Amino acid sequence: VTTLSTVPEAASRSPKGEQTRQAIVAAALDLFRAGGYDRTTMRAIADAAGVSLGNAYYYFGSKEHLVQAFYDRVQVEHAAAAEEVLSRETAFAARLAGVLDAWVNVAAPYHAFAGKFFKNAAEPTSPLSPFSQESQGARAASVSLFATVLDGSDLKLTPALRAEMPELLWLMHMGVVLFWVHDSSPGQRRTRVLVAQAVPLVDKLARMTRLPVVRGVVNDLVALVRSLRS
């Protein structure tokens, strides 16, 4: 098992180092998109980025690390694109829809790549799965964005559900991403329609969980999910 700790953080985060890192990631994405993930070699990536193979390996221990860097990059772009709506809106539905839409905007340039790459990421035991140990960094950052959606919103929840909600919203986001991967409509229009239709229902369901008749079952469900994790 390779780990990201092999990447020399200090060196790679200097302005020059960061520029080289980004050039390598950009070259990798171009090649993954053109020839597929499996058939792209580190040598081809180094060549396309104009660096030596040794230098490419200095920044990224493997192709897998390049994909994790890609996940991290999309995540940073997503958080930046979501800032505007989160500073403006307090209604939960508007915040959630804004953040989900921001991702569709940010991810648009990678749509063709995502279609080819899906097979690699969809395998649950793969380190490239969004659910894997290796993707933990990008996943935690994304979950914390959905925690922000909730924090600044008018939505009130029972404490048990409140604690789980950021991860549940992230799961919803993964559902939208899955739909988006297979969405061949121009500009991924169908994904935007899905977000527009699904968000009001999630909003209503979330508010319903505080009703006396519903609250007990929801708390039991949360307790069951928690016991499964441990």
Binding site for a copy of itself (CB under 8 A): 118-119, 122-125, 179, 194, 197-198, 201, 204-205, 208, 211, 213-214, 217, 220-221, 224, 227-228
- Of the pair 13, 204, the CB lying nearest a copy of itself is at 204
Retrieve residue 205's tokens.
């369901």
Say if residue 100 is exposed, middle or buried (CB neighbours under 10 Å; 0-12, 13-18, 19+).
buried
Is residue 175 within 8 Å of 168, Cβ to Cβ? Answer: no
- Of the pair 43, 119, the CB lying nearest a copy of itself is at 119
State in angstroms the smallest separation of the CB of 227 from a copy of itself.
8
Alpha carbons 190 and 50: distance in angstroms, whole number: 39
State in angstroms the smallest separation of the CB of 62 from a copy of itself.
20
State in angstroms the smallest separation of the CB of 98 from a copy of itself.
20
State in angstroms the smallest separation of the CB of 15 from a copy of itself.
41
Question: What's the sign of the alpha-carbon dihedral 73, 185, 101, 197?
Answer: negative
The residue type of 44 is A
Is residue 165 within 8 Å of 157, Cβ to Cβ? Answer: yes
- Of the pair 60, 113, the CB lying nearest a copy of itself is at 113
- Of the pair 43, 226, the CB lying nearest a copy of itself is at 226
- Of the pair 124, 186, the CB lying nearest a copy of itself is at 124
- Of the pair 13, 119, the CB lying nearest a copy of itself is at 119
State in angstroms the smallest separation of the CB of 123 from a copy of itself.
5
Say if residue 217 is exposed, middle or buried (CB neighbours under 10 Å; 0-12, 13-18, 19+).
exposed
Angstrom CA distances, 112 to 23, 45, 173, stand at 20, 19, 19
Neighbours of 196 (CB within 10 A): 12
State in angstroms the smallest separation of the CB of 201 from a copy of itself.
5
